[in-house]
Structure 1
Amino acid sequence: MVSSGRDGEQTAAPEGWTPSARPFGFYTAMEISYRIGLIRAFKSVADRYWLERPTRSWWSLRKKHNPCFVVLTYHRVSPTPSPFAIDTVALPVFERQMRCLAQHFTVLTIEDLVERLQAGETIPPDCAAITFDDGYADNYHHAFPVLTALGLPATVYLATGAVGTGQVLWFDRVLRAFEQTNCESAHLPYERKPQTLSPVTQRARLAARALFWLRSLPRERRDASMRTLFTMLGVAPPAEDSSLMLTWDQVRTMARQGCRFGSHTVSHPILSQITMPEVVREVSESKRMIEHAIGRPVTTFAYPSGRAQDYSPEIVDIVRRAGYRGAVTNTTFGVNAAGEDLYRINRLRPWEEDLPSFYLKLSWYKLQDSGWRESGASSPLDGAGRACRVACR
């Protein structure tokens, strides 16, 4: 694809770029900015400086002395995303994002980054890592071929109880119940009044609220509440599905071709909602199972859900004592720098469907210092991001 340059000269558009057919607005302005290099100029500033948390109305830049790195987290990749599949990225979008990373970043595994930082080595500039949570089969069928073709390494965090067993993880059982129900309305236990279950978008929103409610409950209450929910939706508990998750043969094939694997527990519980002996079993047994399957050490861990309330200092200590050298979270969205806690590595969720927004998001988070992330202060780009999402609908 080509675009018109100065004096009518034909110049190549950025790799992976797809023009928008949407009317002029913020989204089109994003395209123009990408083409004339404004976003790249913004990134060059983010490569060199931290934007410190504002005091009063002042923002200030502080020079970076060490490179930082960004970690992306994915769950599922599919040519036909379903509203009832957890955090699914469309395959064409994933391909564009990976080409962007291959072109503009040095991509290392999270294990390599942890090892270098623990050894006191300086990491390369523009460094990124790619991770996948849970261990879905589409990681093998759709994501892995893209990564292999581009020579990009990645780490898949396995919930080992679902690998090769046909077991459906608890949140996927909930999503399937909402997908399969024929009820037109239901008085769901977390809603104040009966809710209509159509159209599909409304049902998907209710399913998301169900997950938010259920993950705040202790495991026994969660399981009992799920049974109640299935009854209200008029569906049987979802059956096993041998095609949903990776098999151990697929895991071994990916490992032989350079993919790394980490632990995501056995049954994907919210660790803060179970007892400490249960935490020890979940953290240690999953590590043992993966190491037995692939014959290699497992050195990193991903906290299920990964919010601040989903793990504790005691759980972090259990992870450390189990032999892991680092762990990833979803506590705050942002980048990581040398000297920060390697058992609380931040990650980003790349939900942007258009390439300029994806590229701008990575650059913005590279600019934020730890004060921004720890304070939860709003970004000066938040309004622009919301406008972009509205324009992209």
Structure 2
Amino acid sequence: MLRHNDPRWETALSPWTLADDIFDQCLTFFRSHYTIVTLDDVKASVAGARPLPPRCLLITFDDGFADNLDYALPLLRKHGVFATVFVSSDVIGRQERLWTEDLLWAFMAGRVRPCELAQLHALLLGRGEHDPDDPKLIWDIVRRGPELHDEQVQAAFSGLDIDLNRITWPRQMLTRDDLAHLVASGVSIGAHGKTHTALTSSSDVATELSHPRAVLNDIVMAHGQSSVDALSVPHGAYTPGIVDRALAAGYELVFTGDAVLSRLKNGFLVSPLVGRLDVDGRRIAPTGDFLPEVLAASLFIAPQRQSGVALRFVRPARRSRFANMAARCNVP
């Protein structure tokens, strides 16, 4: 979530960035049509302790960007509602966002050519020659790259003379103090992996699951949150085996990128596996003007996973002016 005059706006990624004024209008819409619930409410429902109300909605953010504190929190307070922020533990306190996200922006903006991307893929992931026009190359790097060692990554970029023009101010990622402030303000914190590597591609799934719980519990438990026991899988990538491992590791809820409505039976969530619906600024405000009927359609006609009463989980996007380029690059 960003404001148009924020220096981070120019290199923000689509379709995961939403302008703050559009989010303000979304919250007005949500409050008019739904009961906005907390993560604790959802956990109580899946545990069978307390039913959720009809037409309920949970707001979530992924990654741990500082703009969640800068722009989202004031608007949540304005409307008297809460949200959940899922954080990758390795990015806490960083000035820069992940290099894979800077690379994705540079590629979509035409600053990194397809031939350079193919060479970078070979250097980093070592799978021989690739067709530079293969649209899967960029996503393979984005999903597998975060766990690579910094020295290997820097050597590859230097060897290819690629400059990502990374933004370090304003600071990109939440700090420990920021997270404590969010919790004290009623925002729940969840885990989003350790490195932000897709769990289906990770070389160490156990650490990707355990590290964020340990790091985040150390922060949030001193400020009123009982524990970190909800996981958002990075890149929305998971398998049934990964879900089982997450539950065995102590997580009570596993949020995915599946664009489906979760289902309730008599007010109780029937599965700990939760889909989410993106609030995509390209669709609900294509010219900068909020279109509530488009947002309504995306929520009301979303597919349903199981029978029962629908529970909608929405994840505001971080909006950028590179939406059309991103669409051509097959942003999922």
- Note whether the superposition's TM-score is higher than 0.5: yes
- Structure 1 residue 216, shift from structure 2 partner: 5.7
Q: Match for 1:321: what amino acid?
A: A
Of 230, 253, 256 in structure 1, the residue corresponding to residue 184 of structure 2 is 256
Q: Does the C-alpha gap of structure 1 residues 285 and 369 become closer, same or farther in structure 2, counting only changes over 3 Å?
A: closer
1:174-203 CA-partner distances (Å, limit 9, x unpaired): 146448986788554188468xxxxxxxxx
Q: Match for 1:246: what amino acid?
A: L
Q: Report the 3-state secondary structure (helix = DSSP H, G, I; strand = E; otherwise coil) of the residue aligned with 1:113.
A: helix
Q: Match for 2:300: what amino acid?
A: S
| Aligned equivalent of 1:274 | 202
Q: Contact (CA 8 Å) 1:181, 1:233: kept in 2 or not?
A: no
Q: Does the C-alpha gap of structure 1 residues 285 and 341 become closer, same or farther in structure 2, counting only changes over 3 Å?
A: farther
| Aligned equivalent of 2:26 | 97
| Aligned equivalent of 1:123 | 52
Q: Report the 3-state secondary structure (helix = DSSP H, G, I; strand = E; otherwise coil) of the residue aligned with 1:78.
A: coil
Q: Does the C-alpha gap of structure 1 residues 234 and 141 become closer, same or farther in structure 2, counting only changes over 3 Å?
A: same
Q: Are 1:356 and 2:293 counterparts?
A: yes
1:23-172 correspondence runs (5 A): 76-80=1-5, 81-82=9-10, 84-85=12-13, 87-119=16-48, 121-166=50-95, 168-172=97-101
Q: Contact (CA 8 Å) 1:101, 1:107: kept in 2 or not?
A: yes
Aligned length: 278
| Aligned equivalent of 2:250 | 323
- Structure 1 residue 116, shift from structure 2 partner: 1.6
- Structure 1 residue 125, shift from structure 2 partner: 1.1
Q: Does the C-alpha gap of structure 1 residues 217 and 281 become closer, same or farther in structure 2, counting only changes over 3 Å?
A: closer
TM-score normalised per structure 1? 0.61
Aligned equivalents of 2:105, 2:159: Cα separation in 1:
13
Q: Contact (CA 8 Å) 1:117, 1:123: kept in 2 or not?
A: no
Aligned equivalents of 2:137, 2:132: Cα separation in 1:
14
Aligned equivalents of 1:287, 1:221: Cα separation in 2:
21
Q: Report the 3-state secondary structure (helix = DSSP H, G, I; strand = E; otherwise coil) of the residue aligned with 1:161.
A: helix
Query: Per chain length, whose mean CA-contact separation is higher, i.e. which structure has more relative contact order (CA < 8 Å, sep 6+)?
Result: 2
Of 300, 305, 312 in structure 2, the residue corresponding to residue 370 of structure 1 is 305
Decide which moves more: 168-177 or 124-133. 168-177
TM-score normalised per structure 2? 0.72
Aligned equivalents of 2:298, 2:264: Cα separation in 1:
21
1:173-252 correspondence runs (5 A): 173-175=102-104, 177-178=106-107, 188-189=117-118, 192=131, 211-215=138-142, 217=144, 228=156, 232=160, 234-235=162-163, 238=166, 243-252=171-180
1:114-156 CA-partner distances (Å, limit 9, x unpaired): 3223216432111100000001011100111001110111000
Q: Match for 2:90: what amino acid?
A: G
Q: Report the 3-state secondary structure (helix = DSSP H, G, I; strand = E; otherwise coil) of the residue aligned with 1:305.
A: helix
Q: Contact (CA 8 Å) 2:263, 2:304: kept in 1 or not?
A: no
Q: Match for 1:174: what amino acid?
A: L
Q: Does the C-alpha gap of structure 1 residues 322 and 78 become closer, same or farther in structure 2, counting only changes over 3 Å?
A: farther
- Structure 1 residue 289, shift from structure 2 partner: 0.8
Q: Match for 2:42: what amino acid?
A: L
Q: Report the 3-state secondary structure (helix = DSSP H, G, I; strand = E; otherwise coil) of the residue aligned with 1:88.
A: coil
Aligned equivalents of 1:147, 1:219: Cα separation in 2:
31
Q: Does the C-alpha gap of structure 1 residues 285 and 293 become closer, same or farther in structure 2, counting only changes over 3 Å?
A: same
Q: Does the C-alpha gap of structure 1 residues 210 and 90 become closer, same or farther in structure 2, counting only changes over 3 Å?
A: farther
Of 176, 180, 193 in structure 2, the residue corresponding to residue 265 of structure 1 is 193
Q: Does the C-alpha gap of structure 1 residues 313 and 222 become closer, same or farther in structure 2, counting only changes over 3 Å?
A: farther
Aligned equivalents of 2:18, 2:139: Cα separation in 1:
20
- Structure 1 residue 285, shift from structure 2 partner: 1.3
Q: Contact (CA 8 Å) 1:137, 1:245: kept in 2 or not?
A: yes
Aligned equivalents of 2:161, 2:242: Cα separation in 1:
35
Aligned equivalents of 1:227, 1:317: Cα separation in 2:
37
Aligned equivalents of 1:241, 1:135: Cα separation in 2:
16
1:287-302 correspondence runs (5 A): 287-295=213-221, 296=225, 297-302=227-232
Question: Identity of aligned pairs, percent?
Answer: 22
Aligned equivalents of 2:114, 2:249: Cα separation in 1:
47
| Aligned equivalent of 2:312 | none
1:89-113 CA-partner distances (Å, limit 9, x unpaired): 1111111111111121100123321
Q: Match for 1:111: what amino acid?
A: D
Q: Which runs of 5+ in 1 are unaligned?
A: 1-75, 195-205, 373-388
Q: Match for 2:185: what amino acid?
A: Q
**CA root-mean-square deviation:** 3.4
